[in-house]
Structures are given as structure tokens and as C-alpha cells.
Amino acid sequence: MSKEAYEASYDEAFFERRGYNKDIMPKNSSQRNSSAFNFFTLWMGAVHNIPNYTAVGGFLLLGLSPLQVMFSLVISSFLIAMLLVFNGYAGSKYGIPFAMQLRHTYGDAGAKLPGILRGVVAGIGWFGIQTFAGSQALLILMNKLIPGYEDFGNGHTILGITIPALIAFLIFWAINFGIGIGGGETLNKFTAILNPLIYIVFGGMAIWGYMTAGGWHNIMNYDITTKTSGIIYPAILTFILIFNSLLGVWAGPGASVADFTQNAKSTRSQVVGQISGIVVAHLLFAISSVFIIIGGSIALGHQEWNILTIINEWDSIWAILIATGVLLMTTISTNATSNIIPAAYQLTALMPKWINYKRGVMIASILSIVIMPWKMMENQDSIFVFLNAIGAILGPVAGAMIVHFYFISKCKINIDKLYFDLNNKPKDLKRINIPAYIATIVGVVISLLGFIPAFRIIADFSWFIGFISTGVVYILLHLVHESRNKNSNLEERQ
């Protein structure tokens, strides 16, 4: 069925009678309002945030020069952009969200587990952690701006968090909730405001780092103490390790990008917007992160990889306020694009008759408090275990989705079958796509082997290993399945 025929034949009531709410219906032309500029600004905040700046400090400890780290960040941006564009094509072509793209890959029943892992576990868990991390920056500001604020509550704690920290968390949580409940339109307006601020503030901070360090030569030749624990890889493998780390950070958005590309005015809009936006954002990030971190380290007289610590040492309260404020805004943008919106859509897909998008945001936001993310932040190792596990799981999911759409279905989706076979012809519906499931399980198991000390090297390259192994296994299983079908058809004819 052509797009024009579909839009003429079905309305919202038609979908609703079959158990779908408007949030997971395929978007028609009038509902697709995201331009290339919207996609250009969409991910900027997801690049320039507190954890990413801290990660660059970790990359510098791997033994690469500052220039090599900058180069690796730019190359990584092309890989990330390709992941978002290729996996987002199904959304921009057919207007379907991630939940329905999962159903197309894994079958109706099969889509539930990867959907839960992406939306509920990764989305809600990381939303809570990012909100708490951002609230710590807000707490620093509140301590500076409100005399005696840090002593409020006389050191008493509630569920393991001090009262000043809890107030800062709830304030920041409420702001994130407001952006999330507003959905894509609110997010587009927010990122349109944030984008120029990022260029101005982080560009200005990069100039500060350059001037403080005494120029390019001092930054490029800064004596960095490399890490003494863990595996030390040759330079080429270190580059790949950085690529893997950044792809792991983007494992969630890379899998669920259709939630955004379904709103694209055209496929060209999302392709041009995402590639240009991701690459330009990382180009600025590569320069600003290295300049700020090394410039700040030179100013402090010791290696310092926490950007908040560097900012907090500035003399000007206004400079601290502006820089920290923009970092808080980028955290909000990351939370919306990578966490709360995907979580809400997945809750909607799991129970479409009872949960719509806004109810999904409410449920996910409340659960992000219930899990007490400040407890997860008490042990730094537990956070990395959580994030590495999510990356190891979602890399294979993205691999299966891309192989299925491009190699199995040849970039074609039957909207009627995808949405209505469950209601009209249950015997014809593939409840679980066994080859895709087996391939994903193989990829996940191989990736998770990296958590065993003897296989530590796998953990350092888990996203690539999981993505590639799942894709290869899925293609092989599909070829075997096709061969068996041909042989069965020949036997029947004979």
C-alpha cells in the first residue's frame, strides 16, 4: 500500500478500535514536522554534557596524544551519525516509532523484551542517574547563591540523601519532567534555544582553556600521566576502544532513533540534519573538551578531568552560573532525547489501551525517583557495570534491527500486516522471529562475556562485537531458513 493510499484509508479511530493509541500510530505527512534544522539541533545536548566531558579525561589517560584524542572524537561522530541515519530510515520512510520497528524485527511477542530493556531498564535507569548527576551541578550553584543552604537540615538524610541534595534533585527532576511531558514540539523549541548557547558558552570556554594553557603548543604537549591499571592497547586498538565507548554511550538512542525520525518531513531531512548535527557537535566537542580539560589542569597545577571542578574554581560567579547553567540544559536535552521519551513510548507500546505518551512520562519519571539513583551513584563501579551491560545488550538489538530492515525485508514494511494481523489474522502473525531472537541472544552472550575477568578484552569492544556478531549470525540463520524453504517447496512440487 502506498503512503497516499494508507493516509486516505485509515484515521485515528480506525487504529484505536484495534487497540492502538495515537502515540504509536504511523505518522502521516501532516504530522511530520521535523526539519533538517530540528535534527541538526536535536543531539547537540547529548554530546556536550557532564559525563562526556569527564570521559574525554579518561581517553587522555589511555596513552593517546591530545591531538589523537580529538581526531578519534571526530571519527567517532561519523560512526554515530551512520548508526542514527541507517537505523532511523524505517522511521522516516514509514512514520513508525521504535516500538513498531521492534515488532517488525522480532515479531509481536518478541518485541516486548528488547523494548523493556531499551525503554524501561535503560531509559528509566539512566534518566534517574542523569537527573541526579545534573542535580549535583545545581546543588553547587545553590550552595554558592544561597547563604547557608548547604547546612539546611543540619546534615539529616532522607533515604540516604541529604535534604539540600534532595531539594536540588527534585527541582531538577521537575524541569526534566516538564520537557518530557511536552514531547517532541517542546524539545524542538528547547534545543533551538540551547544550540546557539552551546556554541557561545563552550566556544568561549575553549578560548579560555587555550589562553590559560598558553596556546596550542602547551596543550598538545601537556604531560599526561597514563593509566597504570587495565590493558594497554596499541594505538590503533585504542582508537577503536574510543569508538566503541562512544557508540556504547549512544547505544540507546541508536536503537530507538525511530521515535524521532518518524516525525521527519522526509528521509533527506533526517539524513542531512543528523549527519551535519552530530559531526559539527563532535567537532566543537573535540576542540572544547581537550582545551578546557588540559587548560583547566594547567591552571590548577594538576590533572583534573571533572569539568565541574574546573568551572567551580573560576573567580567570576557569573561565569560559573552561565557555564553550569548551560551544562544543566544539555543534561536536560540528553535526558529527553535519550531517556524519558523512549521510556514513555515503550510503556505506551506495552500497554497501548491504558497508557498514552503523557502517562508514560509520568510513570517513568516517578519510577526514576523510586529507584533512588543517588544510591547507584554511591558506587562508581556499579554505574559502569550498568551502562556497559546496557551497551552490550542494545548493540546486538541495533544489529538485528538493521540487518532485518536492509537485508531481510529489503527496506520494505507492510503497514497493514505490521499493525492489523494481530487483530484480524492471528494465525498468520509471526509472534516471535526466531532467527532474529537467536542471533540477538548470541550477540548478547558474547558481549556479556566481557564481564568475566578472563574475557576483559571483549568488554572494551563490546558494542562492536555484539553488533557485528548478531548481524552475521542473523544473516546466516536467514540463509539457512531460506534454503530449507526452497528445498521444501521443491519437494512439494515433486
- 430 in any annotated domain: no
Q: What are phi and psi of 162, to 5 degrees?
A: -65, 155
- 3 in any annotated domain: no
Q: Are strands 161-162 and 157-158 parallel, antiparallel or unpaired?
A: antiparallel
Give CA 86 to chain center in angstroms.
Answer: 15
Q: How many CB atoms lie within 10 A of CB 179?
A: 22
The region that residue 295 occupies, defined by phi over 0 for left and psi between -120 and 50 for alpha, beta otherwise, is alpha
Please give the DSSP secondary-structure letter assigned to residue 109. Answer: T
Q: What are phi and psi of 24, to 5 degrees?
A: -115, 10
- 454 in any annotated domain: no
3-state DSSP percent of the chain in helix, strand and coil, to 5 = 80, 0, 20
pTM of full prediction above 0.75: yes
Cα(53)–Cα(69) distance, integer angstroms: 12
Cα(401)–Cα(99) distance, integer angstroms: 12
CB 299 within 8 A of CB 164: no
CATH number at residue 52: 1.10.4160.10
Measured on CA atoms in the order 420, 422, 427, 430, is the torsion positive or negative? positive
- The range of the structural domain enclosing residue 264 comes to 34-380
- 294 in any annotated domain: yes
Helix (H, G, I), strand (E, B) or coil at 427: helix
- 406 in any annotated domain: no
Residue 487's pLDDT is: 64
**Mean pLDDT, all residues of the chain:** 84
Beta bridge partners of 210: none
- 169 in any annotated domain: yes
- 12 in any annotated domain: no
pLDDT tens by residue, 227-253: 555 667 788 888 998 898 888 888 888
Give the count of domains, the chain.
Answer: 1
pLDDT tens by residue, 105-117: 998 888 888 888 8
- 235 in any annotated domain: yes
Percent of the chain with pLDDT over 70: 87
pLDDT for 361 beyond 80: yes
pLDDT tens by residue, 2-11: 455 455 445 5
pLDDT tens by residue, 474-487: 999 989 877 776 66
pLDDT for 170 beyond 70: yes
Task: For residue 429, name the pLDDT band (cuts at 50, 70, 90).
Answer: very low
Residue 379's pLDDT is: 59
Residue 428's pLDDT is: 42
Alpha helices in 107-214 (DSSP H): 112-115, 125-145, 163-213
Measured on CA atoms in the order 458, 463, 464, 467, is the torsion positive or negative? positive
